[in-house]
Amino acid sequence: MSKDEKKLYKNMPLGKLCSMVTKPYFGALTLKTEHLKIEKNFSVLILLEENKNCTQKYISCALQIDKVSVVKIIDGFTKKGLVKRVQNPKDKREYFVELTPKAHNILPKVHKTIKELNDIAFKGFSSKERDDFSKAIVKVYHNIEHFPSSHVIVYKTKKKISKSI
């Protein structure tokens, strides 16, 4: 990395640096899994694979996806035969989202692609550096998870302007 790049990246907001990684990474992931017809919603399938009795509300909270988008994603996956909604036997008003065998057949391909892309992204990193990075990014997330996730709302009053954070 050149001296100019170091200076540029040093002063760049963390969110911008993360988006600079996210765009090409998810672009490549989407392209490499295009034949699976799951678009960019791999995370929902992975969450459902790793957690039982997930509601749409849980998916929304866990993955920071708005509720309307979660409904659209689950509806799309249902039409493709990847998930099904199952009524909670303890609360008839609630439904769990479960993977179908078709989704279980797709997920190893998704995991393989993620591993390949992670290996490229972490080229030159030791196992410890990869682990440290993962721990650090999760720690950063926990430090800022209470921040507004879409926009900063500016409230204007006669006396002053206050921002929500």
- Averages of pLDDT over runs of 10 residues in the chain (165 residues) are 74 90 93 87 95 95 92 95 95 95 96 96 96 95 83 52 53
Kindly report the pTM of this predicted structure: 0.79
What pLDDT, on the 0 to 100 scale, is given for residue 12?
87
What pLDDT, on the 0 to 100 scale, is given for residue 165?
55
What pLDDT, on the 0 to 100 scale, is given for residue 159?
53
For 95, residues 6+ apart whose C-beta sits below 8 A from its C-beta are 55, 56, 85, 86, 87, 88
What pLDDT, on the 0 to 100 scale, is given for residue 7?
75
The top-level CATH class assigned to 3-119 is mainly alpha
DSSP states of the chain:
--HHHHHHHHTS-HHHHHHHHHHHHHHHHHHHTGGGT-TT-HHHHHHHHH-SSB-HHHHHHHHT--HHHHHHHHHHHHHTTSEEEEEETTEEEEEEEEE-HHHHHHHHHHHHHHHHHHHHHTTT--HHHHHHHHHHHHHHHHHHTTS-SS-PPEEE-SS-EEE--
* pLDDT tens-digit readout, 84-121: 999 999 999 999 999 999 999 999 999 999 999 999 99
Asked whether 60 and 54 are in contact (CB, 8 A), the reply is: no
Find the Cα–Cα–Cα–Cα dihedral 22, 27, 32, 38, rounded to 10°. Answer: 90
What pLDDT, on the 0 to 100 scale, is given for residue 9?
79
What pLDDT, on the 0 to 100 scale, is given for residue 94?
93
Q: Which of 98, 119, 96, 116 is nearest to 108 (CA)?
A: 116
* CATH 1.10.10.10, the chain: domain bounds: 3-119
What pLDDT, on the 0 to 100 scale, is given for residue 70?
96
